[in-house]
Homo-oligomer: A and B are copies of this chain.
């Protein structure tokens, strides 16, 4: 009655297609999250899933199918992470500045917690391919819906290019988290300990407050 036990210590695996298919997707997710997109291939995935790579072709038609499956899994992962944010159950933001503060800090925490998302982002800019774009669309859709939901009917502040400004902040957060995960800092600013991140968050909060403050 063991379910989809396919890895680690228990190599017993009953012969059910759905179970191994799920095991393959999980293994693929782990390979991508832990070893990076360079290792994202049929051999590595099958090895990790403890099955023959032939099954990958049979059940998913190749890496593309697996990428799509991970995409669905990613949607839930993002939703989950966002629901566990400290501000998840807080009242809706009262001002656009507060909205942006939540979005910026939310994205920061999400990326810090999810190596999978970091790898997808890194993959996207380092080696764009039709394969990764399947993952990107899943990510973008989820983030966009979160953003829309959080914004509600808040009017954007006038007199500025809001989209461009927002994008600058998001890009900064993304780059900072990627650099931190890869090398532990950005430039001369360390980004390792929780204190390092608190410092960075303080600065981000200040920046957001300054940029979007009401006239």
Where the two chains meet, the residues of A that have a C-beta atom closer than 8 Å to any C-beta of B are 36-38, 122-128, 140, 160-161, 163-165, 167-172, 174-176, 178-179, 181-183, 186-189, 199-200, 202-204, 206-207, 210-211
* 17 contacting pairs across A/B (C-beta < 8 A): A36-B126, A37-B126, A122-B122, A123-B126, A124-B179, A124-B182, A125-B175, A128-B183, A140-B187, A164-B199, A165-B206, A167-B187, A168-B176, A171-B175, A174-B175, A175-B175, A175-B178
Number of copies: 2
Judging by beta carbons under 8 Å apart, are A168 and B172 in contact? yes
In angstroms, how far is the closest chain B Cβ from the Cβ of A162? 9
In the complex, what residues of B have CB within 8 A of residue A165's CB? 203, 206-207
Judging by beta carbons under 8 Å apart, are A189 and B207 in contact? no
In angstroms, how far is the closest chain B Cβ from the Cβ of A111? 12
Alpha-carbon distance A169/B204, docked complex (angstroms): 11
In the complex, what residues of B have CB within 8 A of residue A125's CB? 122, 126, 175, 178-179, 181-183
Which of B170, B176, B211 makes the CB contact (< 8 A) with A210? B211
Alpha-carbon distance A32/B165, docked complex (angstroms): 32
Judging by beta carbons under 8 Å apart, are A183 and B36 in contact? no
Q: Which of A172, A181, A182, A202 gathers the greatest number of chain B CB atoms within 10 Å?
A: A172
In the complex, what residues of B have CB within 8 A of residue A163's CB? 188-189
Judging by beta carbons under 8 Å apart, are A182 and B38 in contact? no
* Known A122-B126, A165-B207, A182-B124: A171·B172 in contact at CB below 8 Å: yes
Judging by beta carbons under 8 Å apart, are A176 and B187 in contact? no
Alpha-carbon distance A165/B36, docked complex (angstroms): 30
Alpha-carbon distance A199/B160, docked complex (angstroms): 11
Alpha-carbon distance A211/B208, docked complex (angstroms): 10
Judging by beta carbons under 8 Å apart, are A168 and B127 in contact? no
In the complex, what residues of B have CB within 8 A of residue A171's CB? 171-172, 175-176, 179, 186
Alpha-carbon distance A189/B165, docked complex (angstroms): 10
